[in-house]
Amino acid sequence: MNKKKIINDPVYGFISIPSDLIFDLIEHPYFQRLRYIKQLGMTHLVYPGALHTRFHHAIGAMHLMGTAIETLCNKGLEITGEEKEGLIIAILLHDIGHGPFSHALEQTIVEDIDHEDISILLMNKLNEEFGGKLKTAIEIFKGTYHKNYLHQLVSSQLDMDRMDYLNRDSFFTGVSEGVISSDRIIKMLNVKDNGIAVEEKGIYSIEKFLISRRLMYWQVYLHKTVIAAEQLLCKIFKRSRELALQGKTFPVTPALAYFLENVITKQEFIGNTRHLDTFALLDDTDVMAAVKVWAGAEDFVLKTLCHNLINRKLFHVDITADKPDDALIKQLTASAVTYYDITEHEAAYFVFTDSIRNNAYNKGDGNIHILMKNGTVTDITLASDNSNLEALSKTVKKYILCYSKELL
């Protein structure tokens, strides 16, 4: 069978699959599942074009990694064939552990476990299946490989993951502020003291990258209507699980029923391969099929929440710098109890608070280093004459108050 395929990507054009092993990994059911998981969760309810998937993103990140490897080798870095394939596999599989609707239901289906943890578990299973051929990729992914700069290409504040999702998400949402010069940034990459550094002449491209990331968070990822939609989906899952644990049964797919009817801790998930195998069967279609069925449920809360999601009747969201006023929350809760004729416990599905954070650059967490012309390395915030970058390194925390628009 010919495995030298090319993929036509709307962002980068034609992308080649570099080896038979990588072709086989792309063909695997674990990876094919990513075709049915939206990259941006419920963001399509705000930006209708945001229907791209984790599959698109993984292929794009793989392409950028190939370009980065070529750049570093051309600058005299010695990267072996095994390391090159390991890097490509590590970035290709970095999001393989995502659940339905990406981040929207993370920490909800399985408590206290991140998609990175599940990615490692799935990569370990694939390594067994492929006779240990993923060993180097897993070491690079986990950061245990002796060449630390290889891990930084996969996971850092300037990795191929971020470079692809900023370009891809801005492309599909139409939010031009997210467009970055990924080609130029990659061409400026170098290695100093076993770490990735950006040559000094690439400093303005890095400034643009950090500012673009901040703008994409406020305009796309933390857009208040996106928050409203994703919070609504989380409340639906929470209510369905609450009812399932009380003994109620729902017509859902076996994989979704498994996670509804069982509260699984991180330790239990890691220690039981059945949990992982069942998780690997879940995607967006399981959840949306359930939501459509539950819109006709007997339970008023679940039925109303599902009906609202299907018909895009989303929560009203207030985003503030200070915590919402307790008196206002009590007033809205009392209004929900009266308006819907429900209990105070049930009213918490229609009136609730949360918080959001945005920080474009985590100073001290794998800093972005600039390689100066004199051979020294310095942090981007010190190397740049843009005073805004120092502000970007501070985490902005805001509070949200969500409530049904009928209560206004």
Taking the C-alpha atoms of residue 197 and residue 314, their distance in angstroms, rounded to an integer, is: 44
Partners of 354 in the beta sheet?
400
Q: DSSP character for 280?
A: T
- Going by the DSSP 8-state scheme, the letter that residue 4 receives in this structure is -
pLDDT at 71: 97
**Mean per-residue pLDDT for 271-299?**
95
Q: Strand pairing partners for 352?
A: 402
3 strand-pairing partners: none
Q: pLDDT digits over 160-191, tens only? A: 999 999 999 999 999 999 999 999 999 999 99
Query: Is the pTM here over 0.85, yes or no?
Result: yes
Give the pLDDT mean for 153-166: 95
Q: What is the pLDDT averaged over residues 11-27?
A: 96
Whether the Cβ atoms of residue 14 and residue 6 lie closer than 8 Å to each other:
yes
Note whether 202 and 210 are within 8 A (CB). Answer: no
The tokens 């429900």 sit on which residue? 342
Q: What pLDDT score was predicted for residue 203?
A: 94
Tell me, what amino acid is at 396?
V
Does 81 or 391 have the greater pLDDT score? 81
Question: Which pLDDT does position 289 carry in this prediction?
Answer: 96
Pairwise CA distance, residues 228 & 358, whole Å = 17
The CATH architecture one would assign to domain 224-357+401-407 is Up-down Bundle (1.20)
Cβ 395 vs Cβ 359: under 8 Å: yes
pLDDT interval class at 110 (50, 70, 90): confident
- Residue ranges of the alpha helices (H) in 130-272? 135-142, 148-154, 160-173, 182-187, 203-216, 224-245, 254-260, 266-271
Q: Determine the average pLDDT of the residues in 257-279.
A: 91
What whole-number distance in Å separates Cα of residue 25 and Cα of residue 32?
9
Segment 83-90 mean pLDDT: 98
Q: In this predicted structure, what is the pLDDT of residue 176?
A: 93
Backbone angles phi, psi at 337, to 5 degrees: -60, -45
pLDDT of the residue at 10? 97
Q: What is the mean pLDDT of the chain?
A: 93
| Domain residue extents for the chain | 6-221, 224-357+401-407
Cβ of 375: how many Cβ atoms within 10 Å? 7
Percent of the chain with pLDDT over 70: 99
pLDDT number for residue 364: 61
Say which DSSP state 178 is in.
G
pLDDT band per the 50, 70, 90 thresholds, residue 138: very high
Q: What does the pLDDT look like over 41-76, one tens digit per residue?
A: 999 999 999 999 999 999 999 999 999 999 999 999
Q: What is the dihedral of CA 18, 195, 163, 9, to 10 degrees?
A: -10
Query: Closest Cα to residue 108, out of 249, 194, 236?
Result: 236
Q: Are 67 and 183 in contact (CB under 8 A)?
A: yes
- Look at residue 33 in the predicted model and tell me its pLDDT: 97
- What would the pLDDT profile of 326-366 be if each residue is shown by its tens digit? 999 999 999 999 999 999 999 999 999 999 988 878 766 67
* pLDDT, average across residues 93-102: 93
Interval 359-394: pLDDT, tens? 878 766 678 999 999 999 999 988 888 767 777 778
Q: How many residues does the chain have?
A: 408
| Confidence band for 113, pLDDT divided at 50, 70 and 90 | confident
Lateral strand order in the sheet of 316-320: 316-320, 396-403, 351-358
Instruction: List % helix, strand, coil for the chain (3-state, nearest 5).
Output: 55, 10, 35
Model confidence band, residue 40 (pLDDT cutoffs 50, 70, 90): very high
Distance CA 339, CA 70 (A): 63
May I ask the CATH class of domain 6-221? mainly alpha
Q: Give the Cα separation of 140 and 83 in Å (integer).
A: 9
